[in-house]
Amino acid sequence: MLSSTSGFQRLSQAALSRSRFLRLAASALLPFVGLRPSAAAGLNPELAQNEGGAPETKDPVASGRMGAILVSQFGPVKIHSYLSPADGFHVNTQMIEGPTAVVIFDGQLLLPYAGEVASYVQALGKPVDRIILSHAHTDHWSGLQVLTERFPDARVFALHGVADQLRARGQARLDIFRPIYGDRIATKVTIPTETITEGLQQIDGITYDFKRFVDAESDLQLAALLPEQKVLMAFDLVFSPNEHAFTVVDHFDHWMIVLEQLKALQDYNTITIGHDTPVHRSAIDSTITYVKRAREIHAASADAKTYSESLKAAFPDRQQAGWVDFSAKLLYAARR
């Protein structure tokens, strides 16, 4: 039986400058050393891009990389997490490297970052077995355009219903992002071609337990458990205590129910999330606190501006205040 009690404590320096790496490492490890979230926020300022200073790395692919890579090893299984810079919403792409293949979860918002993911995976020297999309939000699928070009043999999986959501709304979402990001956003919608089934599955000798959740941060969300490694891949169900969460739809009550269900999964002490570095399971509680407060503020706020200002004031230590403005716009647009 494979086991790990330490989770993501082995971090690859990748292309990070020393100071940036230390900030990221501090952010990843703080839950394990028990510092308060407010202390964590102080040590984890918004990541600077292309900061000066030569990285100390033996990874030839890392040269000039804009994103960050964290690696954790569990026996023959390695989890590589690519974390985009802030302008890509700190989206994670998880790469599960087994004995003979790699499984990629999520595809980044911006194409250059998806390109970095592809180059990193290619350097691992193993074929991509499949690409799995966790949910239909643009920041997780836009870059699938690059990944499917670079790995044409890899099938793209998602929960039943996600492909329909992308067919219905994908292009409109890209049209919203285009004025902001120009040619860094996808030019076409990549539709998953395969349906992922719930329950236990072996891929490349690794056991996955896929779970389907509705009406939380998104209408439809995959979570993936690795029971042998005791890793919960929660994607956008759980957010870092250091950053704001996205609250783009009015599912506050049910999201809290889902979080309680995740909390009931005992022993999963390492949680990889959709944005920012992996967290300790205590992040489930801090996400519940956040969603509960957001629900109250939403109920009391007549417009997006009031909601946004009140939520930022309620969590002054959380980074990425821009995510609150972004969320408020969508949340209140949906109301009309």
Using CB under 5 A as the criterion, what x/- string covers residues 194-233 for binding Zn ion? ----------------------------------------
Instruction: Return contacts of 174-181, CB within 8 angstroms, 24+ apart.
Output: 174/138, 174/142, 177/109, 177/138, 177/142, 181/109, 181/110
Binding window for Zn ion (CB under 5 A); candidates: 122-130, 132-140, 157-165, 313-321: 132-140
- C-alpha torsion sign, points 235, 240, 246, 247: positive
Q: How many residues bind Zn ion (CB under 5 A)?
A: 4
Task: Give min distance, CB of 143 to Zn ion, in A.
Answer: 12
Q: Residue 276, interface with Zn ion (CB under 5 A)? A: no
Residue pointed to by tokens 């992922």? 196
Confirm or reject binding of residue 236 to Zn ion (CB under 5 A). yes
What is the dihedral sign for C-alpha 73, 79, 84, 86? negative
> To the nearest whole angstrom, how small is the minimum distance from the Cβ of residue 147 to Zn ion?
17
- Nearer to Zn ion by Cβ, of 236 and 276: the residue is 236
DSSP run (H or E) holding 202? strand 199-203
CB of 241 or CB of 274, closer to Zn ion:
274
Q: Which of 69, 18, 74, 30 is nearest to 227 (CA)?
A: 74
Nearer of residues 77 and 104 to Zn ion, judged by Cβ:
104
| In contact, 237 and 262? CB cutoff 8 Å | yes
The residue (of 139 and 204) whose beta carbon lies closer to Zn ion is 139
* CB of 162 vs Zn ion, minimal distance in Å: 14
Whichever of 8 and 89 has its CB closer to Zn ion, that residue is: 89
Interacting positions 134-173 with Zn ion (CB under 5 A): 137, 139
Residue type, 139: D
> What's the rounded Cα separation, in Å, for the pair 253 and 147?
35
β-pairing verdict for 270-273 and 231-235: parallel
Given a contact cutoff of 8 angstroms between Cβ atoms, the answer to whether 102 and 96 are in contact is yes
**List 37, 67, 274, 278, residue binding Zn ion (CB under 5 A):** 274
What is the distance between the alpha carbons of residues 20 and 13, in angstroms, rounded to a whole number? Answer: 10
Site string for Zn ion, 1-40 (x = CB under 5 A): ----------------------------------------
| Minimum gap (Å) between residue 100 Cβ and Zn ion | 30
User: Which residues in the 297-316 window bind Zn ion by CB under 5 A?
Assistant: none
Tokens of 126: 């193993």
Closest to Zn ion by CB, 88 vs 274, is 274
Give the footprint of Zn ion on this chain (CB under 5 A).
137, 139, 236, 274
